[in-house]
Amino acid sequence: MDVTIFGSGYVGLVTGACLAEVGNNVLCIDIDPKKIDLLNSGGVPIHEPGLEELIKNNRDAGRMHFSTDAEAGVKHGLFQFIAVGTPPDEDGSADLQYVLSVARAIGQHMETYRILVDKSTVPVGTADKVAAAVREAQAARGLSVEFDVVSNPEFLKEGAAIEDFMRPDRIIVGTDNPRTAELLRALYAPFNRNHDRLMTMDIRSAEFTKYAANAMLATKISFMNELSNIAEAVGADIEKVRIGIGSDPRIGYQFIYPGCGYGGSCFPKDVRALEQTARGLGYDPQLLHAVEAVNFRQKELLFKKISDYFGGDLKGRAITLWGLAFKPNTDDMREASSRVLMESLWAAGARVQAFDPVAMEETRRLYGERADLLLAPDAVSALDGADALAIVTEWSQFRSPDFALIKERLKSPALFDGRNILDGRLATAAGLTYVSIGRLPLIPA
Ligand SMILES: NC(=O)c1ccc[n+]([C@@H]2O[C@H](COP(=O)([O-])OP(=O)(O)OC[C@H]3O[C@@H](n4cnc5c(N)ncnc54)[C@H](O)[C@@H]3O)[C@@H](O)[C@H]2O)c1
């Protein structure tokens, strides 16, 4: 089938590459000429495991093309996927300007029936706005061509996006047209062979399902973070509590890790957008508000712990950060906890010495060259001469470090484990002061 994807970011490229892999002819459109040039010259603008190879194979096989030409995109695909960004507006609601500009472009150039498939995360009611924008653009041309708008929210996880797309837990198709549902079913059939995971529903419920899923996941994290702070205050160990409660199948072990807060391009903005939607309708969403507020506070916790350790005086100190991406296996730093920590350290007059396996370039892009930021070539050299080490992202390579070496390289023996990934007893045995999230303090040997 011929498929056009508007937006060549995390969602657009993964969707495009996976649809091309099963035999479709995919044209990816983006307004950023640098991204398209890079893709056309064999590069990939983001880090996502397996994506580069998948794109290369399908580009070489002639099933995947890249362009900035929206008109060509509209002409190409029966399916017109919208996978552009929906960043937060000033008040936290989703900014729909990119989605609606794609809708207008489709209305301006379409000549035959098209299915607009909305993969971007958008507030309930957006499909109606998309349809209105298409109709308006058609009216300006003095014509009316049939089209459908489908809500098909994406649930992939960065870092495991290809696996998630190839073997999805669910494929949500929101449409009021049974014929369109069948066409989507045919497009998704290769990803739906094991058992039927495609669920059709009305458009509004589909749009809402995505927000509901992210709000639930964010709630689990903030709940555990709240408990970790209480555990610390009462002298309990949140890791023991986690194992204790996870054993109840109604709770489960997944997604109940305490830490230094959630980031990324989805949870923070989607929880805020859902909150704004509810407020706009006169409902006070107290739980959603608390989920974000707890997370905001949690992202400041590592700084607070480091500052307390140094008696509130961080001026002239150097702090090492291991991990900058918002989670492992991605270079995405949108709303990353590392950014809150770095910016607080700088504001307090400290220097940052940082290492991340893949997010160094992104850090350079975000912060540029500055005297108080050293981007080290590897994790160990990031320690040299620093006063303390903070682990911010739970990359596998940080899980079993040489504690003696850390002790030797640091000026003062302080290790702040923002993701509770280390064995504090080993750290303490090596003479380090080990500070984690919600666990009992350990006294150095
Ligand atoms: N990243 C994720 O893990 C994830 C998961 C599920 C859903 N989503 C949702 O999917 C959407 C896209 O997210 P993303 O992370 O891929 O964003 P992204 O920022 O990585 O990519 C968006 C791309 O859209 C392009 N764009 C903007 N306007 C355009 C236009 N008019 N025509 C063509 N391209 C245009 C931008 O240049 C950019 O390359 C968002 O709504 C997001 O909430 C993201």
Note the pTM of the prediction, 2 decimals: 0.95
Q: How many CB atoms lie within 10 A of CB 237?
A: 18
Instruction: Tell me the CA–centroid distance for residue 192 and ligand 1, in Å.
Output: 24
Q: What is the C-alpha to C-alpha distance for residues 43 and 418, in angstroms, rounded to an integer?
A: 34
- DSSP-derived secondary structure for 136-147: HHHHHTT----E
Ligand 1 atom with the shortest distance to the CA of 121? 41
Q: Please, which residues bridge with residue 318 across strands?
A: 351
Q: Is pLDDT at 358 greater than 70 in this prediction?
A: yes
- 298 — phi, psi (to 5°)? -65, -35
Ligand 1 pocket mutation, candidates 163, 265, 330, criterion most atoms within 8 A of CB: 265
Instruction: Tell me the CA–centroid distance for residue 120 and ligand 1, in Å.
Output: 7
Q: Is pLDDT at 83 greater than 70 in this prediction?
A: yes
Instruction: Tell me the CA–centroid distance for residue 439 and ligand 1, in Å.
Output: 38
Three-state secondary structure call for residue 366:
helix
Q: Whose CA is nearest to atom 36 of ligand 1?
A: 7
Q: Is 266 an annotated catalytic residue?
A: yes
CB < 8 Å & 24+ apart, contacts of 395-404: 395/322, 395/323, 395/328, 395/356, 395/357, 396/328, 397/357, 398/322, 398/323, 403/427, 403/429, 403/430, 403/432, 404/430
- At 314, which amino acid appears? L
Q: What is the pLDDT of residues 250-305, one digit of tens each?
A: 999 999 999 999 999 899 999 999 999 999 999 999 999 999 999 999 999 999 99
Q: What is the pLDDT of residues 14-40, one digit of tens each?
A: 999 999 999 999 999 999 999 999 999
Ligand 1 atom with the shortest distance to the CA of 157? 3
pLDDT mean across residues, the chain:
97
Q: Whose CA is nearest to atom 43 of ligand 1?
A: 121
Catalytic residue among 18, 28, 260, 266: 266
Pairing of strands 79-82, 64-67: unpaired
Three-state secondary structure call for residue 165:
helix
Per 3-state DSSP, the chain is made up of helix, strand and coil in percentages (nearest 5) of 45, 15, 40
- Lookup: tokens for 43: 């590069």
* Residue ranges lining ligand 1, Cβ < 6 Å: 6-12, 29-32, 35, 83-86, 98, 101-102, 120-121, 154, 156, 158, 265-266
What's the average model confidence in pLDDT over 294-320?
98
Residue tagged 């000033």 (tokens): 90
Q: Please, which residues bridge with residue 179 across strands?
A: none
Q: Whose CA is nearest to atom 33 of ligand 1?
A: 30
Instruction: Write b or e for each residue in 102-136: b if 16 or more Cβ atoms lie within 10 A of its Cβ, otherwise e.
Output: bbbbbbbbbeeebbbbbbbbbbbebbebbbebbee
Please, how many CA atoms are within 13 Å of residue 188, restricted to the half-sphere of its CB? Answer: 26
